[in-house]
Structure 1
Amino acid sequence: MHDILPTKSNIPPHHTLTSLSLTHVLHSSDIYSRIFAHLTLSPLAITCSYVAVMLTTRDLTVILMLAGQLLNECINFVLKRLVKQARPTEYLGDGYGMPSSHSQFMAYFATYMIILMYRMGASSGSVSPHVVTVLVLIWSSLVVYSR
Structure 2
Amino acid sequence: MDIEERVDLNHVQWIPLSLLFVEYPTGDLIGYVLAWFSMLPIFISVGFITLIIIRRDLHTVSYFLGIVLNEFVSVILKHLIKDSRPTPSPTQTGHGAYGMPSSHSQYMWFFNTYLVLFLLFRLYRNYNWVDDSWKVIVSILTFIVSILVCISRVYLGYHFVSQVLFGSFLGMVLGAAWFCMVHLVLTPFFPVIASSFIGEFLMVRDSTLIPHVMWFEYKSSRSEARNRQRKVTGRKSQ
TM-score category of the 2 structures, normalised to the smaller one: 0.7 to 0.9
Displacement of 1:93 in angstroms is 2.0
Of the candidates 25, 28, 32, which is equivalent to residue 30 of structure 1? 28
Which blocks of at least 5 consecutive residues in structure 1 are unaligned?
1-5
Matches of 1:95 and 1:31, distance apart in 2: 28
Displacement of 1:36 in angstroms is 0.2
Structure ID, larger Rg:
2
Aligned to 1:3: none
Q: How does 1:1-147 map to 2 (within 5 A)?
A: 13-16=9-12, 17-28=14-25, 29-90=27-88, 91-118=93-120, 119-122=122-125, 128-147=134-153
1:43–1:102 Cα contact (<8 Å) kept? yes
CA 1:15–1:106 in 2, change beyond 3 Å: closer, same or farther? farther
Which blocks of at least 5 consecutive residues in structure 2 are unaligned?
154-238
Name whichever of 81-90 and 52-61 sits farther off: 81-90
Scaled by the length of structure 1, what TM-score is found? 0.85
Displacement of 1:39 in angstroms is 0.3
Aligned CA-pair RMSD: 2.3
Displacement of 1:10 in angstroms is 7.2
Matches of 2:118 and 2:11, distance apart in 1: 48
Between the aligned residues of both structures, percent identity stands at 32
Displacement of 1:7 in angstroms is 8.1
Matches of 1:43 and 1:79, distance apart in 2: 19
Which of the pair has the greater relative contact order for Cα pairs under 8 Å at 6+ separation? 2
For these two proteins, the number of residue pairs brought into alignment is: 142
Classify the secondary structure of the residue corresponding to 1:21. Answer: coil
CA 1:13–1:132 in 2, change beyond 3 Å: closer, same or farther? same
